[in-house]
C-alpha cells in the first residue's frame, strides 16, 4: 500500500488511481453530454459500472412522505402523524435568504453550470490530491437532489438506504445520468424547490418548512439571513452541526455560510459581519408525532382511525399497501369525532374515575342510523408512562383493544329478548323464574347436537336475592334483570336464534372468536368491547336497522384529491315492532328498574345495566333515539380487581354495580353530548303489567312495584351462596369464580379466568 509523502500529498500510485477515476468519470460525463453514442467508452469493468447509455433515463420521483393531519367532524385538529415530518411548500414560500444560502454553501455555480460542474470536479480533484483526502466534494445541487430521491424511495429499508448512499463509481455515474434528465425536465428553480423540500435538516425535520418550524417556530418564508445561514449549514452534517445539541459548532458553520454568501456577492460583507455577531436565538418546537399528541383526550380515537385505515381494503389490497399509503402521508383525514361529545365524555370520566385508580373506565358514543363514532375516551390515557396504556379498552383486539374484551353481564339480556320477540314470543310471556334452578337441558343449537347440562353436579343459576321469585313477565324481568327468567327464555327458544340475532347486530367477541352456543351467554359471559355494545344498542334506537361503525368522513391526499372512503352499511336486523318493544322494555329499566340512577332528565332514555361475577366488570349501555353509548368500568390489566370496598375517583364504594357507577358516568357524558340538541321520543308499545307473585310464588294479581335503586337485579352479582353458572369449566360460586368437578359445558372451549358473569 502506498504511503503519504511527508508533505501530506499522495504517493505516485495514489495520484494515478485518483486521476484514473476522474478520467473515467469525466469521459463518461463528456460522452453523455456530447457524444451519447459513445457513452460506454472507457468503462471496462461491467461488474463495477453499467454502460452509461444502458442506464435508463427516466428517473421516477416518488411522492415525498409528509405529515398526515387528522381532524374532527368540524375541522378541528386532533393529531398530526407522520413517518417523516415534512410539509412541501412552493419556492415562493421559502425565504430568498434561504435560497441564496443553500446555493452559496452547497453549489455556488448552480445557475452557471449544467447537471454536472466539470470545473467543480477538477477543482475538487486538485484540492483532494493536494490535501490527501476528501476535503472537497464535487456534487451539484442537482446530483444531491437525485441522491435524496433514491434515499426517499428507499424509505425505511436500511439496505436500500445504504445502496442509495454508497460511495461507488457505479452509483455516481447513475446519479450523473439522472441529473442530466432532471436538468432538462425541471429547470433550476424547480430543482432548488424540490431540493429544499426533500433534504433532511436534522431533529426529525425533513424539508425546509418543517425545519424552520422545528428550530425557529416560524414558516420558511419568514427566515432571516442569519437563520437561513444556520439552516443551510446544517445540511452537510445534521448531527455534527445540530444547533440544539451543539450551538458552538452550529454557530461556526453558520458563519462559514455567511462568509461564503459575502464572497460570491449575494450579501455585503457588512451584512455578513452583522449576522455573524448575532446569537442563534433558537425557538425550538419539539417534534410532535402520532396519536400521543392528540388533543381532547382523543388519542385512542386517533389510533382507532389509523387501525381502521390499515384494516380496510378500500385503501389498498394488502395491509402492506395500505401501510405504505399511510406512511407516505400527506393525507387530510376528516373524522366523525364530535367535539362536544368528546369534551363531555372526557369531563364525565374525569369526574368519576382517576387515572391512578386500580380500575379503569371506557366510554364510547355512536350515532344511531349512521354508525358514526362520536366520542371515545378512557381513564388511562394514551401513552407509555405510569398509569398510561396503548390498549384501547373501547375496541376489539385486532383494532388495538384488549385481548378478550370484557364480559358484559346482564346487558346481553336485551339481545336474548330481541331474538325471542323476533321469533314470535309475546312480551307478556311469563316464566316461573325461581330463585335457584338447574340450567334446563337439552337446549337446541344451530347444529344437530344440542347443548346438554353435563356437569356433575349439574350447573345451576340463581337470582340476586332469595326473595326474587317469579313468575315474571318480560317487562318485570327486564327491569329487575332476573337471571332465571332469561335462562328459561333461552332454553325455550334455543341458542341459534340468539347467535343469529347477535350476528345481525355486529355483536362479536373482542378476540374475534365466534360466540359459543351455551346458555351462559344469556348472562353476558363473553368478552365484548364498548364500541360493539354501543353500536348494537344503537340498532334498537334506529328501530331495528343496524349500521356498521365508521370513523372516517373524508380523506384527501397531498394534492387535494379525494380518496374513496367506505360508508356505513345498514341493514334490517329486526322488525320495527321488535325494536319498539325492546325500547319500551329498556325504558322501564331506567324508569323503575336497576338503571334509575342512569336516566336522563330532559329527554327519554333507555338502557341496561350489567355486573359480572366478583364485580370484576360493571356496565351501562344506554341510548336515546339520536345517541347510543356504552360505559364499562373494570380491570384493564391482567390482574382482576374485585370492585368491593374500593375507592374510585375519590369516592368509596362498598359494592360497584352497573347502575351505581357506569350508569352515572354514561348519564353525564350523554347529557353533555346532547345539550342544546333535539330530543326526539321513542315509538313505544303497550306491554300490560303482569301479576306480582305472592310470597308463596303464586301470582297475587297486584301490579309489580318498581324496585329501589341499587337493589334487585343490579344490586350485586350474587348473595354469596354456592351456585353454578353453566358455560364455564367448574362453574362459578355465588359471584366468585370457583366450583369443582364436572364436564366442560363449553365443549372444550377455554375462556380466560374471571370473564364469566351473568349477575346484574
Give mean pLDDT, residues 388-397: 94
The rounded percent of the chain whose pLDDT value lies above 90 is 62
Residue 755 in this model has a pLDDT that exceeds 70: no
Residue 9 grid coordinates: 500529498
66-77 per-position pLDDT tens digit: 889 999 999 999
Of 655, 696, 649, the C-alpha closest to 668 is: 649
Report the Cα 722 to chain-centroid distance in Å: 43
Q: Where are the beta strands (DSSP E) in 658-747?
A: 732-733, 736-737
Cα 343 from Cα 151, distance rounded (Å): 43
- Could you count the other beta carbons within 10 Å of the beta carbon of residue 650? 10
511-554 per-position pLDDT tens digit: 998 899 999 999 998 999 999 999 999 999 999 999 999 999 99
In this prediction, residue 292 carries a pLDDT of 86
Of 589, 723, 732, 573, the C-alpha closest to 663 is: 589
The rounded percent of the chain whose pLDDT value lies above 70 is 78
- Which element (helix H / strand E) includes 646? strand 644-648
* pLDDT grade for 49, boundaries at 50, 70 and 90: very low
In this prediction, residue 194 carries a pLDDT of 93
176-192 per-position pLDDT tens digit: 778 888 888 888 999 99
Residue 10 in this model has a pLDDT that exceeds 80: no
DSSP 526-570: SEE-HHHHHHHHHHHHTTTEEE--B-EEEEE-TTSPEEP-PPP-E
Q: How would you class 1 by CB atoms within 10 Å of its CB: exposed for 0-12, middle for 13-18, buried for 19 or more? A: exposed
Give how far Cα 299 sits from Cα of 82, 232, 342, 454, 544, Å: 15, 36, 11, 47, 32
677-692 per-position pLDDT tens digit: 999 999 999 998 876 6
- Whether 633 and 662 have beta carbons less than 8 Å apart is answered as yes
In this prediction, residue 269 carries a pLDDT of 97
Of 125, 116, 119, 113, the C-alpha closest to 22 is: 125
Give mean pLDDT, residues 704-729: 35
Residue 741 in this model has a pLDDT that exceeds 80: no
Residue 298 grid coordinates: 382523543
Give mean pLDDT, residues 618-625: 97
* Ramachandran category for residue 738: left, alpha or beta (phi over 0 → left; psi -120 to 50 → alpha): left
Of 101, 106, 295, 288, the C-alpha closest to 213 is: 288
Q: How would you class 676 by CB atoms within 10 Å of its CB: exposed for 0-12, middle for 13-18, buried for 19 or more? A: exposed
Cα 103 from Cα 107, distance rounded (Å): 5
More confident residue, 465 or 283: 283
In this prediction, residue 571 carries a pLDDT of 97
Three-state secondary structure call for residue 169: helix
List helix spans (H) across 600-649. Answer: none
- Which range among 55-69, 450-464, 471-485 shows the weakest confidence by mean pLDDT? 55-69
More confident residue, 749 or 208: 208
Q: If you average pLDDT over each of 72-81, 382-391, 687-696, 716-725, which comes out highest?
A: 72-81
Give mean pLDDT, residues 442-452: 94
Of 372, 291, 390, the C-alpha closest to 336 is: 372
Residue 655 in this model has a pLDDT that exceeds 90: yes
Would you give the DSSP letter of residue 360?
E
In degrees and rounded to multiples of 5, residue 78 shows phi and psi of: -100, -55
DSSP 285-320: -----SGGG-STT-HHHHHHHHHHHHH-GGG-SSHH
* Ramachandran category for residue 748: left, alpha or beta (phi over 0 → left; psi -120 to 50 → alpha): left
In this prediction, residue 68 carries a pLDDT of 93
- Whether 93 and 160 have beta carbons less than 8 Å apart is answered as no
319-337 per-position pLDDT tens digit: 989 998 998 899 999 999 9
**What's the sign of the alpha-carbon dihedral 190, 192, 193, 197?**
positive
- Whether 430 and 694 have beta carbons less than 8 Å apart is answered as no
> What is the reported pTM?
0.75
In this prediction, residue 164 carries a pLDDT of 64
* pLDDT grade for 696, boundaries at 50, 70 and 90: very low
User: How close are the terminal C-alpha atoms of the chain, in Å?
Assistant: 86
Residue 85 in this model has a pLDDT that exceeds 90: no
Cα 738 from Cα 722, distance rounded (Å): 10
Residue 168 in this model has a pLDDT that exceeds 70: no
405-428 per-position pLDDT tens digit: 999 999 999 999 999 999 999 999
More confident residue, 759 or 458: 458
Cα 258 from Cα 228, distance rounded (Å): 9
* pLDDT grade for 709, boundaries at 50, 70 and 90: very low
Cα 724 from Cα 204, distance rounded (Å): 59
Give mean pLDDT, residues 460-468: 88
Q: Is the peptide bond before 442 cis (omega within 30 degrees of 0)?
A: yes
Give how far Cα 759 sits from Cα of 407, 588, 715, 720, Å: 11, 19, 9, 12
Cα 7 from Cα 124, distance rounded (Å): 19
Angle at 119 between CA 113 and CA 123, to 5 degrees: 145
- Which element (helix H / strand E) includes 191? helix 188-198
Strand partners, 68: 81
Cα 483 from Cα 473, distance rounded (Å): 13
- Strands 85-86, 205-206: pairing is parallel
Amino acid at each position: 500500500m502506498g504511503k503519504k509523502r511527508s508533505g501530506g500529498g499522495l504517493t505516485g500510485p495514489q495520484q494515478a488511481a485518483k486521476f484514473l477515476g476522474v478520467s473515467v468519470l469525466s469521459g463518461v460525463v463528456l460522452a453523455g453530454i456530447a457524444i451519447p453514442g459513445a457513452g460506454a467508452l472507457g468503462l471496462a469493468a461491467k461488474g463495477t459500472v453499467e454502460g452509461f447509455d444502458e442506464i435508463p433515463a427516466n428517473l421516477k420521483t416518488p411522492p415525498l412522505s409528509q405529515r398526515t393531519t387528522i381532524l374532527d367532524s368540524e375541522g378541528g385538529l386532533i393529531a398530526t402523524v407522520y413517518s417523516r415530518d415534512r410539509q412541501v411548500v412552493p419556492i415562493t414560500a421559502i425565504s430568498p435568504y434561504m435560497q441564496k444560502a443553500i446555493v452559496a454553501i452547497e453549489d455556488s455555480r448552480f445557475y452557471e453550470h449544467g447537471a454536472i460542474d466539470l470545473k467543480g470536479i477538477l477543482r475538487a480533484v486538485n484540492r483532494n490530491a493536494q490535501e490527501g483526502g476528501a476535503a472537497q466534494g464535487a456534487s451539484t445541487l442537482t446530483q444531491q437532489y437525485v441522491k435524496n430521491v433514491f434515499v426517499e424511495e428507499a424509505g425505511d429499508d436500511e439496505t436500500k438506504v445504504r445502496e442509495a448512499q454508497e460511495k461507488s463509481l457505479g452509483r455516481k455515474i447513475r446519479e450523473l445520468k439522472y441529473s442530466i434528465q432532471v436538468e432538462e425536465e425541471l429547470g433550476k428553480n424547480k430543482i432548488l424547490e424540490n431540493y429544499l423540500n426533500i433534504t433532511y435538516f436534522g431533529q426529525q425535520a425533513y424539508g425546509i418548512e418543517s425545519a424552520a418550524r422545528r428550530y425557529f417556530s416560524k414558516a420558511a418564508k419568514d427566515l432571516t439571513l442569519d437563520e437561513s445561514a444556520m439552516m443551510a449549514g446544517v445540511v452537510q452534517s445534521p448531527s455534527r452541526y445540530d444547533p440544539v445539541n451543539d450551538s458552538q459548532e452550529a454557530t461556526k458553520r453558520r458563519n462559514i455560510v455567511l462568509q461564503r454568501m459575502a464572497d460570491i456577492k449575494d450579501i455585503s460583507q457588512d451584512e455578513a459581519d452583522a449576522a455573524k455577531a448575532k446569537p442563534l436565538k433558537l425557538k425550538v418546537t419539539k417534534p410532535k408525532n402520532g396519536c400521543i399528541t392528540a388533543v381532547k383526550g382523543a388519542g385512542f380515537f386517533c389510533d382507532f382511525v389509523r387501525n381502521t385505515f390499515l384494516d380496510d381494503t378500500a385503501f389498498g389490497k394488502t395491509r402492506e399497501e395500505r401501510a405504505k399509503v399511510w406512511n407516505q402521508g400527506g393525507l387530510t383525514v376528516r373524522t366523525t369525532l364530535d367535539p362536544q361529545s368528546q369534551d363531555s365524555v372526557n369531563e364525565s370520566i374525569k369526574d368519576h374515575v382517576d387515572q391512578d385508580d386500580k380500575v379503569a373506565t371506557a366510554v364510547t358514543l355512536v350515532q344511531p342510523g349512521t354508525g358514526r363514532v362520536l366520542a371515545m375516551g378512557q381513564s388511562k390515557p394514551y401513552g407509555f408512562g405510569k398509569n398510561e396504556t396503548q390498549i384501547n379498552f373501547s375496541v376489539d383486539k385486532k383494532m388495538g383493544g384488549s385481548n378478550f374484551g370484557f364480559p358484559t353481564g346482564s346487558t346481553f339480556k336485551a339481545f336474548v329478548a330481541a331474538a325471542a320477540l323476533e321469533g314470535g314470543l309475546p312480551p307478556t310471556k311469563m316464566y316461573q323464574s325461581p330463585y335457584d334452578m338447574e340450567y334446563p337441558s337439552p337446549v337446541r343449537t344451530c347444529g344437530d347436537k344440542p347443548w346438554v347440562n353435563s356437569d356433575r353436579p349439574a350447573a345451576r343459576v340463581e337470582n340476586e336475592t332469595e326473595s326474587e321469585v317469579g313468575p315474571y313477565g318480560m317487562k318485570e324481568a327486564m327491569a329487575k334483570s332476573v337471571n332465571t327468567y332469561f335462562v328459561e327464555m333461552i332454553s325455550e327458544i334455543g341458542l341459534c336464534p340468539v347467535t343469529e340475532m347477535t350476528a345481525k347486530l355486529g355483536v362479536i367477541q373482542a378476540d374475534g372468536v365466534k360466540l359459543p352456543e351455551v346458555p351462559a351467554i344469556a348472562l353476558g359471559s363473553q368478552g365484548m368491547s364498548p364500541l360493539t355494545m354501543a353500536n348494537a344498542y344503537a340498532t334498537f334506537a334506529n328501530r331495528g336497522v343496524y349500521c356498521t361503525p365508521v370513523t372516517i368522513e373524508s380523506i384527501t391526499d397531498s394534492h387535494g384529491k379525494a380518496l374513496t372512503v367506505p360508508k356505513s352499511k345498514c341493514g334490517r336486523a329486526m322488525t320495527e315492532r321488535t325494536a319498539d318493544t325492546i325500547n319500551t322494555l329498556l325504558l322501564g329499566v331506567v324508569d323503575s328498574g336497576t338503571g334509575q340512577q342512569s336516566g336522563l332528565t330532559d329527554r327519554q332514555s333507555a338502557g341496561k345495566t350489567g355486573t359480572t361475577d366478583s364485580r370484576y366488570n360493571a356496565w351501562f349501555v344506554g341510548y336515546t333515539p339520536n345517541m347510543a353509548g356504552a360505559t364499562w368500568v373494570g380491570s384493564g390489566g391482567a390482574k382482576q380487581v374485585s370492585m368491593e370496598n374500593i375507592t374510585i375517583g375519590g369516592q368509596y364504594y362498598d359494592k360497584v354495580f352497573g347502575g351505581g357507577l357506569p350508569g352515572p358516568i354514561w348519564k353525564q357524558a350523554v347529557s353533555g353530548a346532547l345539550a342544546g340538541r333535539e330530543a326526539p321520543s321513542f315509538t313505544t308499545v303497550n306491554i300490560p303489567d303482569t301479576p306480582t307473585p305472592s310470597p308463596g310464588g303464586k301470582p297475587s294479581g297486584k301490579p309489580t312495584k318498581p324496585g329501589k335503586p341499587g337493589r334487585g337485579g343490579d344490586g350485586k352479582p350474587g348473595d354469596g351462596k354456592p351456585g353454578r353458572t353453566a358455560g364455564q369449566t367448574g362453574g362459578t360460586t355465588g359471584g366468585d369464580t370457583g366450583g369443582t368437578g364436572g364436564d366442560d359445558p363449553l365443549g372444550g372451549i377455554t375462556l380466560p379466568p374471571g370473564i364469566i358473569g351473568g349477575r346484574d
